[in-house]
Structure 1
């Protein structure tokens, strides 16, 4: 442990106790996250097995919802949340086993693992995925989640099976606009579009807001002048 503070021997001992205690707790939390991921992945596998046994025509979605409902009731989480977590856990266990092992060993956190699997979604070739996982884990064990994210994306791009242009063309087909109601008679406008257009819209909105503020300021100043003139 290193520190630039001028601490007394007693304070140094207390600081060491706090830091080492927190490190142990974080390691234990990571181990529990790994065990939880293993159980969620097992639940996903069970749902697939139930679906295969019953030859369900829905592709297993009903089996997943049923099992997610039971888990959600026990954990007080929504079925949708549990279903999402089951899918992410299954991906971690099956596609990134070494990442799961690192979480289980307390070397990285579940948040690190999430960054690795999210960024690696574009790496579909199994061999390339192994190379990506090995490279990104070297960074994950020494970096924070925030610093890992851009590095993981860069590494994933290097091992991606499909080019960025091809992925962009496919993503363009998902363009959308929606309005989300908020409190106090407000609403949020969300638009999914190519990044250059999004930044262009943002720039235009900022220009419009400046013009509105300038107009309001001018109107207010004119009103003040008129009031003062009338008073004179």
Structure 2
């Protein structure tokens, strides 16, 4: 009986891992297909934009909005999430080839890829290739939370802009927003300079 149980456990774990690898490969393929759709929309905007749309309208921008709406409908997600997927796919396919390869090989999980993409978003183009090489290698040997911490150090080494200048620029994008939750609860989100955020948390936590 114990041997049968052990065999069932091994089989279940193996199958779960196989599905996870399939998910990684599927995410890589989805990114490539979304990017192909974006390029097609930019090359042939009339395929998505009614020819009767007034000439002064930016047809590429209108095509992008139409593409995002199509993806949102087909994937059953919000348009804001579909827009994020379009931008993440563009960056992954065009600017993070080592990360894309690792994802396609199921050497990393989709969560690793998202951590890398978000860390690379405000990196200058000239350092993204080096960042991609190093980040993809790191992702193969650690969990997504560990990767997030290690990428902070990597970004500091590679970013040509000083931390002070980056902090001032990012502080201008600070914000506070609220999401309603179930059972009469809500989640408050703060995107603020770290000292302010830690101070607010300490006061709330007392």
Q: TM-score normalized by structure 1? A: 0.73
* Alignment partner, residue 33 of structure 2: 39
Is the contact made by 1:43 and 1:86 (CA closer than 8 Å) also made in structure 2? no
Whether 1:26 aligns to 2:25 is no
Q: Which runs of 5+ in 2 are unaligned?
A: 50-54
Q: Which has the larger radius of gyration?
A: 1
Q: Is residue 134 from structure 1 mapped to residue 133 from structure 2 by the alignment?
A: yes
CA drift at 1:41: 1.0
Matched, 1:152 2:151: yes
Q: Secondary structure at the match of 2:116?
A: helix
Q: 1:48 aligned to 38, 42, 46, which one?
A: 42
Is the aligned partner of 1:97 residue 2:100? no
After TM superposition, give the deviation of residue 119 of structure 1 in Å.
1.1
| Residue 201 of structure 2: aligned partner | 202
Counterpart of 2:8 (choices 14, 25, 28) is 14
Residues of 2 paired with 1:27 and 1:8: CA distance?
A: 29
SS in 1 for 2:160: coil
What is the number of residues matched between the two proteins? 200
TM-fit CA distance, 1:199: 2.2
Using a 3 Å threshold, how does the CA distance of structure 1 residues 170 and 64 change in structure 2: closer, same or farther?
same
Helix, strand or coil at the partner of 1:149: helix
Match in the other structure for 2:121: 121
Tell me the residue number matched to 1:76: 76
- How large is the Cα RMSD of the aligned pairs? 3.0
How many Å separate the matches in 2 of 1:166 and 1:52?
Answer: 42
CA 1:181/1:66 → structure 2, altered by over 3 Å: closer, same or farther? same
Distance 2:151 2:167 in 1: 19
* Structure-2 change in CA distance of 1:38 and 1:181 (3 Å): closer
2:66 and 2:41 mapped to 1: Cα distance? 8
Residues 139-195 of structure 1: CA deviation (Å, up to 9, x unaligned)? 211222222111122212221132211111112222344566667777665554322
- Give how far 1:94 is off: 0.4
| Residues 119-144 of structure 1 deviation map (CA, whole Å, 9 limit, x = unaligned) | 12232133x22222221222211222
